[in-house]
Structure 1
Amino acid sequence: MTDATDATPFDAGPAPFDAVLCDLDNVIRIYDPAPLARLERAAGLAEGTTARVAFAPERDRPLLLGEITKAEWVETVAAGLVEREAGRLDAGRARELGAALAASPFRADEEVVGMLRRVRARMPLVLVTNATVELDEDLAALGLTDLAHHVVSSARVGVAKPDREIYEIAAARAGVPHARCLFVDDNLENVQAATGLGMSGVHYRAPDDLRAPLGFLLQGP
C-alpha cells in the first residue's frame, strides 16, 4: 500500500509521467559501512558517529556545492570529531575516521540499475544528486556513465536538494514539465520538495518501491 505521506499513488491507465528524475546515493549507489564501523569501534565511538558529524549541513553542504575539496572536507570532519569528543579522540585518529568515511567502498544495486535501464529506453532519465566534483569518476567506477540521459550534480550546478532550483534544472534537462516528472529519492524531505513543485514522488527504501510506479515501463521484452 502506498503511504500518502511519502509517495504518490500510481493507478492503472495512461502513463502518469513522461520522465524519471532519480537520486543516486542509497538508491543506485550503495555504500559499505563496515570498514568505517570497525575503526569507530576501535576508537571507542558508537557506529555512525563519524557520519553524523560529517553530514551536518555546515560541513557537508560546502562539499556538495563544490566549494571545498574532499580532502578539505575530511579536515573539517576530523576537527568536528575532536571537538565532539572533547579531547577523548586525538587529531590523527579523527583524521583517519574522516578519511575512511570519504573512501567508503560502494557498489551499484544491479536490480535498480536494471529497472532504470529499461526506463531510459522509453523516456528521459535524469540523475539528480547531491554529489562531489568527483561524481564523473565515481560513475565510471560503477560502470554507469551511460545510465542516464543527463546528470544534475549539486557540485556542478551550485545548488543542492531540497532547493527548488535543482529540480527545475533537472526537469529542464529532461524537457518535461514538472507535473509530468517522477522524482525518486531516499530522503523524504527531498521527495516532499519535488511534490511541492507538482512532481510525482517516490520515497525510496528498497527496489520494490519502484515496481508499482515503473511497472508500465518494465513490461514487455
Structure 2
Amino acid sequence: MELPYDAVLCDFDGVIRHYDAGRLTALERDCGLAEGTTMKIALAPELLLPVSQGQITTDQWTASIVAELERLLGSAEKAAALGRAFAEARAQVDEEVLDLLRQAQARVPVVLVTNATVQLEDDLRALGLAHFFDEVVSSARVGTVKPGRRIYEIAAERAGVPPARCLFVDDRRENVEAARVLGMTGVFYREVANLREALAPLLDGDRGPASS
C-alpha cells in the first residue's frame, strides 16, 4: 500500500523538548509578576526574531530579556535572577514522541524544523539527539523562521520530497496553517495521541491517512 507521506517534518519545542518552568514561575510570583511574563517578553517578535535568525547569540537574547524585565520591575537584581532562571531552565525530551518518530524513520526521513538559536546543535548533543534526525532545519542557520514560507520549502528540499508529500507537526497553529498552504498535511500537536494518529499509516501500513 502506498504511503500517504514521504517525509515527516517535526517541530522541536513543545513537541519533542519540554522545559520545567517551575523555578521561573516561582520567581515571577515572588516578584509580583503574572506567570508567563518572562516567556511573553522572550517571545516578543522584536526580541525573538534576531536570535531566531542567527543575528545575535543566546546570551545577547537573554540580556535583552533581562533589560525588559528591569524596565518592568525597576530592579536589576530581580531582573537578573529571572533571566538566569529562564536561561537555566531544565529541558527534557518526550521519549514517547521520540519512539514514534524513530518508528516512522524506518520508512521515511524525519526532519527537525525549528525556530531556534545558534545553540541548537549544542542542545541536541546535550540531549543525545545529535544524530537522531535525518536533517535539521534551524531558523538560526537558514535565516528564515516559521511561519515564513521559505523554511518549509527548505525542509521539503532537504527531505528530498515535494511539499505535498510531507507531514508537518507543530504545536503552534499558525505554523501548521502555513504548512497546509504549501500543500503539506498539517498536524496541530497538543498531545502524543495527535502524533500517534498522524503517524499510524507509517507504523502499520493498513491504515489510511490520518485526519488533521
Q: Bin the TM-score by the shorter chain.
A: over 0.9
Range with bigger deviation, 132-141 or 165-174: 132-141
1:91 paired residue among 62, 76, 79: 76
Whether 1:81 aligns to 2:78 is: no
2:14 paired residue among 11, 15, 26: 26
Whether 1:109 aligns to 2:94 is: yes
Name the SS of the counterpart of 2:27 in structure 1: helix
Whether 1:52 aligns to 2:40 is: yes
Structure 1 outlier segments of 4+, above 4 Å: none
2:50 maps to what in 1?
62
Q: Provide the identity percentage.
A: 55
Distance 2:60 2:77 in 1: 15
The code of the aligned residue for 2:126 comes to: A
Whether 1:189 aligns to 2:177 is: no
Where in structure 2 are the equivalents of 1:1-221 lying within 5 Å? 14-83=2-71, 85=72, 88-219=73-204
Distance 2:145 2:2 in 1: 32
* TM-score where L is the length of structure 2: 0.93
Name the SS of the counterpart of 2:133 in structure 1: coil
Distance 2:204 2:146 in 1: 31
* TM-score where L is the length of structure 1: 0.89
Contact 2:173 / 2:188 at 8 angstroms: preserved in 1? yes
Per-residue CA deviation, residues 140-176 of structure 1 (Å, 9 max, x unaligned), is 1111122210000001111111111000000000000
Name the SS of the counterpart of 2:187 in structure 1: strand
CA RMSD of aligned residues (A): 1.3
> Any gaps of 5 or more consecutive residues in structure 1?
1-12
Distance 2:169 2:180 in 1: 10
The code of the aligned residue for 1:67 comes to: Q
How many residues align structurally?
205
Distance 2:204 2:64 in 1: 48
How far did 1:82 drift?
Answer: 2.5
How far did 1:112 drift?
Answer: 0.1
The code of the aligned residue for 2:16 comes to: I
How far did 1:28 drift?
Answer: 0.3
Distance 2:89 2:74 in 1: 21
The code of the aligned residue for 2:198 comes to: P
Distance 2:150 2:38 in 1: 30
How far did 1:139 drift?
Answer: 0.7
